[in-house]
Amino acid sequence: MEISAVIPVYNEKDNILPMVERIEKAFQRGFKDYEIIFINDGSNDGSYELLNDLMNKNKCVKAYHFTKNNGQSAGIDAGFKKAQGDLILMMDGDLQTDPEDVYELLKFIPEYDMVNGKRATREDGFKRKLASKIGNGFRNFVTGDNIQDTGCPLKLFKKEVVKSYKLFNGMHRFLPTLARYMGYKVTEVPVRHYDRLHGESKYRVFGRGFKAFKDVFAVRWMKNRVLTWKIEE
User: Are 87 and 158 contacting, i.e. CB atoms less than 8 angstroms apart?
Assistant: yes
Residue 233 lies in a domain: no
Report pLDDT for 201.
63
For residue 233, the one-letter residue type is E
How are beta strands 61-65 and 34-40 bridged, if at all?
Answer: parallel
User: Are 82 and 62 contacting, i.e. CB atoms less than 8 angstroms apart?
Assistant: yes
Element (H, E) at 37: strand 34-40
CATH code of 169's domain: 3.90.550.10
Q: Is 126 exposed, middle or buried (0-12, 13-18, 19+ CB in 10 A)?
A: exposed
Residue 85 lies in a domain: yes
Q: Is 67 exposed, middle or buried (0-12, 13-18, 19+ CB in 10 A)?
A: exposed
Residue 229 lies in a domain: no
Which DSSP symbol is given to 34? Answer: E
Report pLDDT for 143.
59
Which DSSP symbol is given to 6? Answer: E
Residue 88 lies in a domain: yes
Q: Residue 51 belongs to what domain range?
A: 3-223
Does the pLDDT at position 121 exceed 80?
Answer: no
User: Are 152 and 191 contacting, i.e. CB atoms less than 8 angstroms apart?
Assistant: yes
- The mean pLDDT value for 39-66 works out to 97
Residue 41 lies in a domain: yes
88 vs 181 pLDDT, higher one: 88
Q: What 3-state DSSP class applies to 189?
A: strand
Residue 112 lies in a domain: yes
- The mean pLDDT value for 155-184 works out to 92
Does the pLDDT at position 124 exceed 60?
Answer: no
Read off φ and ψ for residue 35, nearest 5 degrees: -140, 150
Residue 150 lies in a domain: yes
How many domains does one find in the chain?
A: 1
For residue 98, the one-letter residue type is D
Report pLDDT for 193.
87
pLDDT in tens, 99-108: 999 999 999 9
- The mean pLDDT value for 135-151 works out to 67
Query: Lowest-pLDDT range, 42-56, 114-128, 160-174?
Result: 114-128
pTM: 0.82
Report pLDDT for 215.
77
Sheet with 3-9, strands from edge to edge, namely 61-65, 34-40, 3-9, 87-90, 155-158, 114-119, 186-191
Report pLDDT for 199.
58
Read off φ and ψ for residue 138, nearest 5 degrees: -65, -40
Report pLDDT for 173.
87
How are beta strands 34-40 and 3-9 bridged, if at all?
Answer: parallel
Does the pLDDT at position 80 exceed 60?
Answer: yes
220 vs 61 pLDDT, higher one: 61
Report pLDDT for 131.
57
217 vs 68 pLDDT, higher one: 68
Residue 49 lies in a domain: yes
